[in-house]
Structures are given as structure tokens and as C-alpha cells.
């Protein structure tokens, strides 16, 4: 397009093309520039790698936090899933009667599952966890009752529905007490909320710092190419043309940073898991951490390249405009 | 083609670089611009290429006032002007070929077209065999010729040259001027800033002489008193 | 110093000076360069601030981790302090006898402190914590024994000395069982070790990334000053002369980064504390977190400026040497 | 002072830039170095300033072979040589004063000394009133003169100049050459690469002529056949 000379226009941009041809050539030109920008990074592997390392480390922390909170949430889920109802039976109830009761309850349509903690098991667990240990061997008699832990079906987990169920259970002959576990759930939720909020604050900080790192890197690489940019402006390049390679570089930094951080996160996870498994031997409690799913990894790459693009765009917008050819 | 209308240029530092300059360079005309160091030659060329804006007055290209060109449209104006800079202004990290190709790449020409025309331009300045070298591997004069090739590769309707022969020996200078004459013959307007009075004397083209920012003489090469 | 011309030497470096004069002028010149480099940063506040922000965020995470682990360690300290000995008394022992026994034991020179958990209190606590709640109201009789928790003096906290004490206690008439709490201590230590290791791994990663960030920033700012460096080399500047401003810039980045991260950490801590205090209302358990002490802040500044220096030194060493004037 | 002993220079690209060049420039001698574009003039000067190393042969300064100078000592050699570069090579982000002061700052002179001598050097090239401006605010010729002031501020025993008058009008060129003569009179060796044959003819100094990298003529200004 010539602004001052009407008849002039040998440039490709002036050739008459159909919309499809234009779209195709637009895509081809972008793909070509993306590859060229990748080639530029490849040609200076040392410096590019350094930038990507910085990014990778910065990104791996939000990723690690995400994994920690995901695994934490899983545990919390397991604990907090339904509003549980604990049913304490009378001490006088015989073993067969309990078995009968459990079988009955499992037919109730409001009830999803019934777990029976026999008083003998409870005593053993109590001995182990209370710290009173063998002292309890001196008990004349098992003072603990049998307990049934009942999980209502999804439809009966609302507070009101659960309360109706509680009343129904209290009617039963062998039952001495029915308890709806609400309070400790509230506590757990409060703890989880604090932990999650902390993670979100830290992750936000880190994502911000990723954008800053990319922006800073692009800014400095713009400055280091200041004379080149001036030359391009001198021979008639638009800001859009000049900034495109930098935007692509930002995206590539994001992509490779995400890849690196995936590796770092995986190593970190494996490391924590092996450390926890050392603990497991003490606790006899099987722990298995979940890594990043393929969909989550893809999401991470998309987010990272988005942040790379955002960082470089913020930087490019400001600095390429500011460079004006003098002399 | 290029018309200056009472143009003043005062730099931020307070220096009055051009004072009430007026002239008209017609389509297909070729002229020299001369004057002492600091007379304002480069400033005048910069106003045409929109590298600076006039403080007063108006510059017209092909009848369009440059004062009406917005920042966003400056690149499109520059594409119509082939400029040779006093300090070459090459991309130091790209080979000679890429440097010369740059204006065509910016305009989105096809690869074949670019290859063909860059080779032709390099051939004209005698550097076809150095197309793959980096500018830092060239001598000063060779770099200057790369700049000349880049300015003409796009066949612009206007060519501005700031001391295009400052680093060239007399024989080569003559050759380059012949190249400009060749373009001039196909209706390209050429304006050459130079202090090489011998060259000016030999060529006998219209000569604009600046002194302390004022148009001191406009006519055939007159040996200035300086 | 002239290498090729013996008589030449108008440079200041050649004037004859005493050692003291040399030292003073060395210090003055360094102080001047440090200030000049600070001035350079000041003159481009936007970009410098950006680099410092990146650094500040990166540094604030190890600092936050340090604070978390410090506060965590404090809690762990409170829990794990001495090897405790639990003494379970026979159920038949009367209240007055227990009081007498406690008074006796407090006179023993091996014993630092005796805490008496009466069986009534224990039952109440058990009801609250076990989740069996009111079910225990149906107990005919309190099945729990009185418990004395004994803290040996520092000299008797070694495993062997503690064991001797255990034997002495077992001789006493009202005592049914003596237990040395070792196992849960081991468990706690294992948990704390995992948490600490994770923190150390993350902190190392972050410190590494701080060094990388500084190195990268300095690298890019060297590249953006490539032509200037070439010119300096052309007129006879040594690598040392050229690199000094960059090293100072690295130090300043570290110092300001540390300052920023101090602010970020303080805000973060305050935020976590307020979140925890929301929890406190549920738990009735007073939590107060400790911030960075002045000495720790100073240490952080020193470490950060050291890392800044290291990062810029690594970068400078490699890149300033690589820039060779051509043309 | 400067002695070339059968010096060859082959660049990495395979270009044979200097072929078996020998000459001796004595203490306090002044000479021109001329030849076509790409003849090897700048290459020859670069060998003296240790910007390049010879492929073969030896360069001596004041009797010391430059082949024995290690990388670590190169800066100290450069401090003894005032070089004027074909492309000026100024610090673009520092004012003219700082640019000229640079060699003295590097050598650690006192502030008063620096102020005094920089002012004197700027005065000699006629730029004292532009000391506070940035190089980008100067005309091409003014930038070249800043480079000249920087090269002489340190009173080096050797001055090398690569096209020092490429951007200067004839009157100013003459003035600059008078400045070099002034230095030459106090026993400074001066070697000036130029293609300005008029200047050479007027001055009648020893002239070294290169052609295709070979020493084609060494003597009084002989109009080369090119
Ligand atoms: N950006 C600027 N800011 C301030 N002054 C400037 C600027 N650019 C040029 N000048 C001043 O304007 C005057 C004219 O400069 P110009 O570059 O036009 O001269 P010139 O005729 O090209 O000289 P030369 O032959 O040396 O290249 C000079 O004195 C210069 O110092
Ligand atoms: N770094 C390099 N790598 C490869 N070839 C080079 C390099 N530097 C110079 N040359 C080649 O060596 C030849 C001589 O270059 P030199 O700069 O010495 O020429 P010159 O005589 O100064 O020319 P001019 O008058 O144009 O400045 C040129 O053909 C150039 O292409
Ligand atoms: Mg000029
Ligand atoms: Mg040269």
C-alpha cells in the first residue's frame, strides 16, 4: 500500500487475492514467523535456555502448589465427603443383634453405606491412639459401645434430611445415641480454606512473577536489539511487523518454561512421595500422590504460553513504540 | 515531487538547524545538496523521511503535505523513499542478503521475487559474491554499498542519499553516481547530500547549497566560498 | 602503565602513592562507582523497578518458607521438648494418695515437673476427642486411671537415664504402668523432617532461580550495552573496568529485591495470621506468628546481595569476555 | 615505531585481506595509507590496534612484537594508540564530554586533569559548545570530530586514523590534518587511511598504497592507476 503514490503497489499486499487465499497466506506467514522465532531461540541456546530455566522454576512452583492442594483436597474429600452419622449402640446389644441391625439398615433407601466399628476394634484403636496403652489392659470390662457409621445417600445429606434420618435411627431399639458429625467438618473446612487461600495467594504471586520475568526478558531483548529495530523502522516496518517475533518468543518461552516446570514438578513430586513413603513405614498408612494429568499438563502449557504472550505483549507494546530512529 | 515551503527546524537543544528553506525538486529530477559540516543537510533529508518533523512550514511529497501524516502511517511513507544513511544503518546480525532484502520482506514480497531483485541490486554495487557475509566482515566502503543496494532494491520513486560516497574511492564513487543516474532516467527523484565538491563539479547537476541552515545557493554547481 | 613505551605514564595509576593513599583512593573509587551504578538504576526507574520486582517476588518465597518453617519449628519445639514419662496409677488409688505421690515425686532430684491428669478430667477429654461423646455417659464407672506426666530434668533426659527413672517409678506402690513416650516423638520428628526437607528443596530451587534471574537480567543488560562495551574495549578498558558497574548493579538488585521481599513477606505473614485468627475463633487456641527479626532481615539483605553479586558475576565473567570489538 | 614484517591476514571467510605486507613507519613520521575500497586499509590498522591478529608475519610497535602480547595485556597496548574509527564508535548514551573523557577515565586520571584536557581537545576540533549534547544530536561530521578528539585527548605516541575526513567538507578536512601535523611535530607517529586523493596530493607526505591486499606503492603521493 502506498500512501503518497496512487499507481504504486508492487508489494504482495496489493495483489488481488480471494479471502481464502488471504487466510491461507496469513496462516502460512504466521507459522513461518513462529518457526523463525523458534529458530532464533535455537541459534542462541545458552541464553534462551537460561530464560526458560528461570521461567520453568517460577512456573513449577504454582504447579507444585496446585498438586499439593489437589492431593490435599483429595484427602479432605475422603474425610469430609458426606455428612456422617454415628450411631452408638447400647452396651447390652449382642453381636448377632448388631449384625442384624447392619443388614436392616443397608436396605434403607436413605442410606448409602453402613460401616460397623465393633467395640473390640474400638478398644484396640483407643489403646493405640490415646496414649494410655497397656493401662487399659487393667480394665475389667470393655467400656466402649459398638458404633455404626452411616453415610446417607446424596439426596439425604442436606442438614434437614439428615436430621430426619437421625430421628428415625433414634427410634430403633438397640440404639443408645445418634450423632450427626457437623462440628469437626466445619473445622476441617476452615483449615482447608486457610490452606487454599494461602496457596492461591502464593500462586498468584508466582504467576505475576512469571509475567514479570517474561516481560523483563523481552524488554531487555528488545533493548539489546534496539539498533536493529531502529533500522527496521527506518526502512518502513510497522510496529506490528517488528513486534511479532518478540510475541512469538514470549509464547515459546512460555511453552518451554511449562515443559521444564513439568519436569521439575514431576521430580519434586517423586521426591516428596519417596519422603512420605519413609513416613508410611512408621504409620502403616498407604500414601500415593497424584501427578499432573495429561489434560492438566496441556492446560499448564496453554496458561504458560498465554502468560508468556501477555508478558511479552505488555513489554513490546511499551518499548517498541518508544524506540524512535534518530541520526 | 518534493517541495519545501518555508521550512524551519529548531531542535530541542535550541539549535536552529534549518531556517526558512524552500525549494522544489520535480519528478525525475536529480540534485546535489551540499554545505559545510553541520549546515543542515542531514536534517533536510530527515524531514523528508519523517525522521524529524518541521518546526514551521510544510514539506510536500507528490503534493501530499507530510504534516498530515499520522504516526501510524509513517512506515508507509518511508516505503516509498529509498534512504542511504550517513552511518550505513545495517542489521549487524544478518547477512548482507537479508539486509538488502529487508524492505521487500517488510512489504511481503514472494521469496522468488526477493531473491531475484536482491541479487540484481547486489550485482549493481559489485557485492554479489559477499551476499552471505555479515556486515561486520565488510570494509567500510562495502558496507556503504550494501546500504545503497538496500535503498534501491524496492525501486522507490524517491531516493535520498546522505554522503553515499563518503567511504568510497573516486572510481567507485563515480560508479555509484552512474547507478543513481540510471534510476533517475526512469523518473526517480534523487537528492544526494555530499561534501565531495570534485564529484559535484564533474557531474554538473542542480546543486542546493546550505550554509548555517539557510539555502545559500540553488542552481548549477557553484564553487561555494567555503 | 604502558606496556610498550617505558617512559610513558601520565596515568594516575602510575603516580607514586603510599599504601594508605592507595587504599583510600581504592575505597573512594569503589564507593563512587557503587553510587554511580545506583544512579544508573535510578535514571531508568521503570526497568530497574521491574527487575527488582521479579527479584523481590522470587526472594519473598524462600523468606516466607523460612518463616513458615520457623513458626512450625516453634510449635514442634513446644510439643517435643523433653522426653516425657507417663505414669499410670492403679484404679484403686484414692485421691489423697495421688496428691501425696505427686508431692513426693516433686522432691526427686531427677524430676523437673509433674503434671497430674486426674481420671475425671481424662474421661471428659476422652469424651470430647474420641468422638464417642455422650455414649460414654452410659459407662457404669470411669474406666480410666489417673495419669502423672513426668518431665525429667535435662540431665535425665537421655534414653538411658530416663530408663533408670522409669524403673525407679515402677517400684512405687500405687503405680500400675510406666511409659516412656518415644514412639510418637519419633513420628513427629519424621513428619517435621519431611516438611523441612520439602521446604529446603523449594527454597534451594527459589534461590537458584534468584541467581538465574539476576544473571539473566545482567546478561541481557550487557547485551543491550554491547556497542558501548565494544567502544570501551576499543579505547583500552580492561574487562575488570567494564564489569564493575554490572557487578554493582547485581548487588543493588539484590539489596532492593531483599527490601521488596521483606515487604511482601510481612504482608503475606499478616494475611496468614489474620486467616488463622479466623480459625482461632473456632478452636479457641491462640496463634501468633513471628515475623523476621532485624538480624534475620539483615541476613536476608546480605544473602540477597550476595546472590545478586554471584548471579551478575557468573553472567559478567562469561559475556563481557565474549564481546570482542569488530569492524 | 610501527614495523610490518611480511604480514599476511586471511579472514575466517577465506578472504586474503593482506598479502606479505612490509613497511616501517619511524618515530615521529606521518604517512597516508590509501587504496581502493576493500584493499585492506582498515585491516592493516586493525592489526596495529590488536583488533585482529596476523595470520603470518609480525607487527612490531616500538620494537615489541605484538604476537607476544597476551589477551590480558591488549587493553594496555590500546591505551598507547589513539584510533579514529571509520564508523566513529561513540557511546550513544553519554554526552560528547564523557565520550572524549573515556580514555582518561579508564586510565584513572583526576577530575581536574580530565576536565582540562577534554576541553582542550574539544576546542581543537571546534566542538567545545556541544560538549553537553548526545552524539545522536550531532551531524555526521561533528560525530567524526568527537572521535578525533577522543583519539588525541590522551596524547598517545601513535595515532591511527581510518578515513578521518570521510564526512568532512574540504576546509574542515584541512583543519583536521593540520591538527595531526601538530601532533606529528611532537614526535607522534601518525598513519591516516584515506581515499581522498586531493588531500593526499596537497599534503605531500609519504603514501602507502594497497591494492588487493598487496603493498602496491610506498613513497610520495603517486596518483594510483585506479
Ligand atoms: N537531534 C538533534 N538535537 C539537537 N541538535 C541537532 C540534532 N540533530 C542535529 N543537530 C544539530 O543540527 C545541526 C545540523 O545537523 P545536520 O546533521 O543536518 O548537519 P549536516 O549538514 O548533515 O552535517 P554533516 O556534513 O557533518 O553531516 C548540527 O549543528 C547539529 O549539531
Ligand atoms: N571480519 C572479516 N571477515 C571476513 N572478511 C573480512 C573481514 N573484515 C574485512 N574483510 C574483507 O577484507 C577486505 C579488506 O577489508 P578492509 O576493511 O581492510 O578494506 P578497506 O581498505 O578498509 O576498504 P574501505 O575503503 O572500503 O574501508 C574486504 O574485502 C572485506 O570484505
Ligand atoms: Mg549529515
Ligand atoms: Mg576501511
* Per-residue pLDDT reduced to its tens digit, C94-130: 888 888 888 888 888 888 888 887 777 777 766 665 5
> d(Cα A302, Cα A296) in Å, to the nearest integer?
10
- Write down the pLDDT at residue D135: 92
Contact D140 B13 (CB under 8 A): no
Is D163 touching ligand 1 by the criterion CB < 6 Å?
no
For B32-48, what is the mean pLDDT? 93
In sequence order, the β-bridge partners of residue D160 are: D83, D191
Residues C67 and C201 in one domain: yes
The cell for C143 is: 474406666
* pLDDT higher than threshold 90 for residue A267: no
* pLDDT higher than threshold 80 for residue B31: yes
What are the angstrom distances between the C-alpha of B163 and each of A92, B42, B45, B84?
113, 9, 11, 8
pLDDT, tens digit (0-9, with 9 covering 90-100), for D108-143: 888 889 999 999 999 999 999 999 999 989 988 899
Residue pointed to by grid coordinates 510418637: C184
**Domain boundaries, given as residue ranges, for chain D:** 1-80+156-226, 92-155
Three-class HEC string of A177-231: EEEECCHHHHHHHHHHHHHHHHHHHHHHHHHHHHHHHHHHHHHHHHHCCHHHHHH
Helices A183-223 and C183-224: angle between axes, nearest 10 degrees? 20
Residues A61 and A115 in one domain: no
Three-class HEC string of chain B: CEEEEEEEEECCCCCEEEEEEEEEECCCCEEEEEECCCCCHHHHHHHHCCCCCCCEEEEEECCEEHHHCCHHHHHHHHCCEEEECCCCCCCCCCCHHHHHHHHHHHHCCCHHHHHHHHHHHHHHCCCHHHCCCCHHHCCHHHHHHHHHHHHHCCCCCEEEEECCCCCCCHHHHHHHHHHHHHHHHCCCEEEEECCCHHHHHHHCCEEEEEECCEEEEEEECCCCCC
In sequence order, the β-bridge partners of residue A105 are: none
A8 in a structural domain = no
- Write down the pLDDT at residue A65: 74
Q: Check which CATH number belongs to the domain holding A167 and give it.
A: 3.30.70.3040
The ligand 1 atom at the shortest distance from the C-alpha of residue D140 is 27
Contact B162 D140 (CB under 8 A): yes
Superfamily of domain D1-80+156-226: P-loop containing nucleotide triphosphate hydrolases (3.40.50.300)
B208 vs chain D: nearest CA distance in angstroms?
15
Residues C73 and C197 in one domain: yes
* pLDDT higher than threshold 60 for residue C327: no
Q: How confident is the model at residue B58 (pLDDT cuts 50, 70, 90)?
A: very high
More confident residue, C137 or A318: A318
Contact B157 A236 (CB under 8 A): no
A42 vs chain C: nearest CA distance in angstroms?
17
> d(Cα C325, Cα D10) in Å, to the nearest integer?
18
- Write down the pLDDT at residue C77: 54
- Write down the pLDDT at residue A11: 45
- Write down the pLDDT at residue D224: 44
Residues C199 and C295 in one domain: yes
- Write down the pLDDT at residue A75: 57
C311 in a structural domain = yes
Residues A194 and A296 in one domain: yes
Q: How confident is the model at residue A137 (pLDDT cuts 50, 70, 90)?
A: low
Q: How confident is the model at residue D43 (pLDDT cuts 50, 70, 90)?
A: very high
Cα B23 to ligand 1 centroid, rounded to whole Å: 20
Residues A61 and A201 in one domain: yes
Residues C223 and C91 in one domain: no
What percent of chain B lies above the pLDDT cut of 70?
Answer: 97
| Average pLDDT score, chain C | 76
> d(Cα D174, Cα D184) in Å, to the nearest integer?
15
Task: Give me the residues of A, 91-110, that contact C with CB < 8 A.
Answer: 91
Q: How confident is the model at residue B41 (pLDDT cuts 50, 70, 90)?
A: very high
pLDDT, tens digit (0-9, with 9 covering 90-100), for A201-224: 777 777 777 787 778 778 878 888
Three-class HEC string of chain C: CCCCCCCCCCCHHHCCCCHHHHHHHHHHHHHHHHHHHHHHHHHCHHHHHHHHHHHHHHHHHHHHHHHHHHHHHHHHHHHHCCCCEEEEECCCCCHHHHHHHHHHHCCCCCEEEEEEECHHHHHHHHHHHHCCHHHHHHCCCCCCCCEEEEEECHHHCCHHHHHHHHHHHHCCCCEEEEEECCHHHHHHHHHHHHHHHHHHHHHHHHHHHHHHHHHHHHHHHHHHCHHHHHHHHHCCCCHHHHHHHHHHHHHHHHHHHHHHHHHHHHHHHHHHHHHHHHHHHHHCCCCCCCCCCHHHHHHHHHHHHHHHHHHHHHHHHHHHHHCCCCC
* Nearest CB neighbour to A223, from listed C90, C197, C224: C224
A7 in a structural domain = no
- Write down the pLDDT at residue A139: 60
Which of B147-156, C29-38, C309-318, D184-193 bottoms out in mean pLDDT, i.e. has the lowest? C29-38
CA-nearest residue, atom 29 of ligand 2 = D38
- Write down the pLDDT at residue B5: 94
> d(Cα D139, Cα B46) in Å, to the nearest integer?
12
Residues C243 and C132 in one domain: no
Contact C279 A191 (CB under 8 A): yes
Contact A3 B150 (CB under 8 A): no
| Average pLDDT score, chain B | 90
The winner for highest mean pLDDT among A45-59, C32-46, D21-35 is D21-35
> d(Cα D165, Cα D172) in Å, to the nearest integer?
8
- Write down the pLDDT at residue C41: 81
The ligand 1 atom at the shortest distance from the C-alpha of residue B213 is 14
C28 in a structural domain = no
- Write down the pLDDT at residue C140: 61
- Write down the pLDDT at residue D55: 95
* Nearest CB neighbour to C47, from listed A58, A219, A279: A219
Model confidence, pTM: 0.76
- Residue among C3, C221, C239 with most chain D CBs within 10 A, to mutate: C3
- The residue from A161, A181, A201 where one domain ends is A181
Residues A164 and A311 in one domain: no
- Write down the pLDDT at residue C76: 52
pLDDT, tens digit (0-9, with 9 covering 90-100), for C140-194: 667 677 888 888 877 776 666 777 888 888 888 888 777 776 655 555 566 667 6
pLDDT, tens digit (0-9, with 9 covering 90-100), for B77-124: 999 999 999 888 899 888 999 999 999 988 888 888 999 999 999 999
Contact D102 C11 (CB under 8 A): no
* pLDDT higher than threshold 50 for residue D226: no
Residues A205 and A63 in one domain: yes
Residues at Cβ < 5 Å from ligand 3 ion: B 42; D 139-140
For A72-91, what is the mean pLDDT? 64
Work out how many domains chain C is built from and give that number: 2
Task: Give me the residues of D, 178-217, that contact B with CB < 8 A.
Answer: 195, 197-198
D110 vs chain C: nearest CA distance in angstroms?
7
- The residue from C181, C203, C218 where one domain ends is C181
- Write down the pLDDT at residue C184: 52
Is D75 touching ligand 2 by the criterion CB < 6 Å?
no
Q: How confident is the model at residue C217 (pLDDT cuts 50, 70, 90)?
A: confident
For A188-202, what is the mean pLDDT? 67
- Write down the pLDDT at residue C64: 76
> Which ranges of chain D does DSSP label H, i.e. alpha helix?
41-48, 74-78, 96-107, 111-124, 140-152, 170-185, 197-203
Pocket test of ligand 1: the residue of D127, D138, D163 to mutate, having most ligand atoms within 8 Å of its CB, is D138
The winner for highest mean pLDDT among A1-10, C133-142, C233-242 is C233-242
- Write down the pLDDT at residue D101: 95
Residues C61 and C203 in one domain: yes
pLDDT, tens digit (0-9, with 9 covering 90-100), for B193-217: 998 888 888 888 899 999 999 998 8
The ligand 1 atom at the shortest distance from the C-alpha of residue B40 is 18
Residues A315 and A195 in one domain: yes
Q: What's phi and psi for A66, nearest 5 deg?
A: -60, -45
* Nearest CB neighbour to B107, from listed A11, A29, A228: A11
The cell for A30 is: 504466521
What residue in D sits closest to B165 (Cα-Cα)? D166
- The residue from A181, A196, A223 where one domain ends is A181
> d(Cα D109, Cα D112) in Å, to the nearest integer?
8
Contact D37 B166 (CB under 8 A): no
**Domain span including residue C273:** 36-78+187-322
Which of A5-14, A121-130, A302-311 bottoms out in mean pLDDT, i.e. has the lowest? A5-14
Q: How confident is the model at residue C47 (pLDDT cuts 50, 70, 90)?
A: low
Q: What's phi and psi for D191, nearest 5 deg?
A: -125, 120
* Nearest CB neighbour to A8, from listed B80, B89, B90: B80
Q: How confident is the model at residue A15 (pLDDT cuts 50, 70, 90)?
A: low
A&B contacts, CB < 8 Å: 80
Amino acid at each position: 500500500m502506498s500512501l503518497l503514490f496512487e499507481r504504486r503497489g508492487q508489494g504482495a499486499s496489493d495483489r488481488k487475492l480471494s479471502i481464502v487465499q488471504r487466510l491461507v497466506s496469513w496462516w502460512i506467514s504466521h507459522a513461518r514467523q513462529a518457526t523463525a522465532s523458534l529458530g532464533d531461540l535455537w541459534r542462541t541456546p545458552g541464553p534462551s535456555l537460561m530464560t526458560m530455566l528461570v521461567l520453568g522454576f517460577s512456573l513449577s512452583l504454582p504447579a507444585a502448589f496446585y498438586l499439593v492442594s489437589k492431593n490435599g483436597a483429595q484427602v479432605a474429600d475422603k474425610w469430609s465427603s458426606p455428612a456422617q452419622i454415628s450411631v452408638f449402640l447400647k452396651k447390652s446389644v449382642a453381636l448377632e443383634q448388631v449384625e442384624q441391625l447392619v443388614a436392616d439398615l443397608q436396605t434403607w433407601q436413605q442410606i448409602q453405606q453402613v460401616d460397623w466399628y465393633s467395640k473390640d476394634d474400638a478398644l484396640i484403636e483407643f489403646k493405640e491412639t490415646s496414649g494410655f496403652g497397656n493401662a487399659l489392659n487393667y480394665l475389667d470390662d470393655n467400656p466402649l459401645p459398638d458404633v455404626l457409621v452411616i453415610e446417607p445417600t446424596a439426596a439425604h445429606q442436606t442438614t434437614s434430611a439428615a436430621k430426619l434420618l437421625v430421628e428415625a435411627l433414634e427410634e430403633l431399639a438397640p440404639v443408645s445415641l445418634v450423632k450427626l458429625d457437623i462440628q469437626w467438618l466445619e473445622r476441617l473446612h476452615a483449615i482447608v480454606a486457610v490452606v487454599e487461600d494461602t496457596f492461591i495467594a502464593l500462586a498468584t504471586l508466582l504467576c505475576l512473577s512469571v509475567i514479570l520475568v517474561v516481560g523483563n526478558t523481552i524488554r531487555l531483548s528488545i533493548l539489546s536489539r534496539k539498533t536493529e529495530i531502529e533500522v527496521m523502522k527506518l526502512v518502513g516496518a510497522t510496529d506490528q511487523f517488528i513486534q511479532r517475533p518478540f510475541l512469538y518468543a514470549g509464547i515459546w518461552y512460555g511453552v518451554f518454561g511449562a515443559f521444564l516446570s513439568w519436569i521439575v514438578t514431576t521430580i519434586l513430586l517423586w521426591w516428596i512421595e519417596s519422603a512420605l513413603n519413609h513416613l508410611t513405614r512408621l504409620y502403616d498408612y498407604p500414601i500415593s500422590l497424584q501427578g499432573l494429568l495429561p489434560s492438566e499438563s496441556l492446560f499448564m502449557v496453554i496458561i504458560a504460553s498465554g502468560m508468556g504472550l501477555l508478558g511479552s505483549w505488555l513489554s513490546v507494546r511499551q518499548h517498541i513504540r518508544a524506540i524512535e530512529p534518530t541520526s | 515531487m518534493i517541495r519545501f515551503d518555508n521550512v524551519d527546524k529548531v531542535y530541542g537543544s535550541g539549535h536552529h538547524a534549518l531556517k526558512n528553506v524552500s525549494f522544489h525538486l520535480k519528478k525525475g529530477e536529480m540534485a546535489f545538496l551540499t554545505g559545510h559540516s553541520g549546515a543542515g543537510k542531514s536534517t533536510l533529508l530527515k524531514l523528508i523521511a519523517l525522521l524529524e518533523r518541521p518546526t514551521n512550514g510544510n514539506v510536500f511529497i507528490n503534493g501530499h503535505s507530510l504534516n498530515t501524516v499520522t504516526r501510524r502511517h509513517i512506515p508507509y511513507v518511508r516505503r516509498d523513499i529509498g534512504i542511504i544513511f550517513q552511518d550505513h544503518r545495517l542489521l549487524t546480525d544478518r547477512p548482507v542478503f537479508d539486509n538488502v532484502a529487508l524492505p521487500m520482506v517488510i512489504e511481503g514480497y514472494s521469496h522468488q521475487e526477493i531473491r531475484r531483485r536482491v541479487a540484481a541490486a547486489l550485482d549493481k554495487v559489485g557485492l554479489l559474491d559477499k551476499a552471505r557475509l555479515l556486515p561486520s566482515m565488510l570494509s567500510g566502503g562495502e558496507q556503504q554499498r550494501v546500504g545503497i543496494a538496500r535503498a534501491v532494491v524496492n525501486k522507490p520513486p524517491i531516493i535520498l542519499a546522505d554522503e553515499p560516497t563518503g567511504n568510497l574511492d573516486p572510481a567507485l564513487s563515480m560508479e555509484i553516481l552512474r547507478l543513481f543516474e540510471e534510476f533517475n532516467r526512469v523518473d526517480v527523484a534523487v537528492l544526494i547530500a555530499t561534501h565531495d565538491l570534485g564529484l559535484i563539479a564533474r557531474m554538473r547537476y542542480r546543486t542546493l547549497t546550505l550554509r548555517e541552515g539557510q539555502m545559500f545557493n540553488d542552481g548549477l554547481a557553484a564553487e561555494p566560498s567555503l
